[in-house]
Amino acid sequence: MKHWIRRPLPHHEETNVVFFRGMSLDALVRGLLGTERMPLAYGTGGEWGLVMHDMFSWESGNYDLVRYESLCPPGAELVVLVTEPCIAKAHGPAFAYYRDGDLITHFSFESPSQPGGEEPGLLTPALTAARLTGPHAELDGDDDEERIMAAVAGFFSLPDLDMP
């Protein structure tokens, strides 16, 4: 998953990837700018749009996480991937899904079997089918992040981001 960032944006490792639908690109970009996050790349078309933005604020010392609830109006959905939640501690990526301004489900790629949110088990069937959670889970491989991302992308029918 991190290759999505490093190939098209090689000098922006601390980047969040946000898929959106049910709202305009302009509305999301304005919301991100309001939180002092610089959009770096975007794409639209099909069912989902995409924005990549700096994880941290351009304001010196502002390392707070983005409050995506306020960026997700009624009728909208956001699938958020934090690619480097704590680069200094080498934590794995994190996933969150927002709908109508509410955090529906989220988990760390380090522990997909420990989700939170209003519907923590929303992705459990997809993660279990991919053998990422449940009694037959097969983790600790070099491809765990890719497998998790494939399960998330499949569940939400996200567009492929196989960038050159």
Q: Tell me the mean pLDDT in the region 119-137.
A: 95
Q: With a cut of 90, say whether residue 44 has pLDDT above it.
A: no
Q: Tell the residue number behind the tokens 């790349």, with chain if given.
A: 41
* Residue-level pLDDT at 60: 62
Band (92; pLDDT cuts 50, 70, 90): confident
Q: Which of 12-21, 36-45, 119-128, 144-153 is the most confident on average?
A: 119-128
* Residue-level pLDDT at 10: 58
Q: With a cut of 90, say whether residue 3 has pLDDT above it.
A: no
* Residue-level pLDDT at 57: 85
Q: With a cut of 60, say whether residue 42 has pLDDT above it.
A: yes
Q: What is the pTM of this model?
A: 0.90
CATH class of the domain at 3-121: alpha beta
Write the CB contacts of 81 (distance below 8 Å, at least 6 apart in sequence).
1, 16, 17, 18, 93, 94, 95, 149
For the chain, domain boundaries:
3-121
* Residue-level pLDDT at 65: 82
Q: With a cut of 50, say whether residue 1 has pLDDT above it.
A: no
Query: Can you state the percent helix, strand and coil of the chain, rounding each to 5?
Result: 25, 25, 50
* Residue-level pLDDT at 46: 85
Percent of the chain whose pLDDT exceeds 90: 58
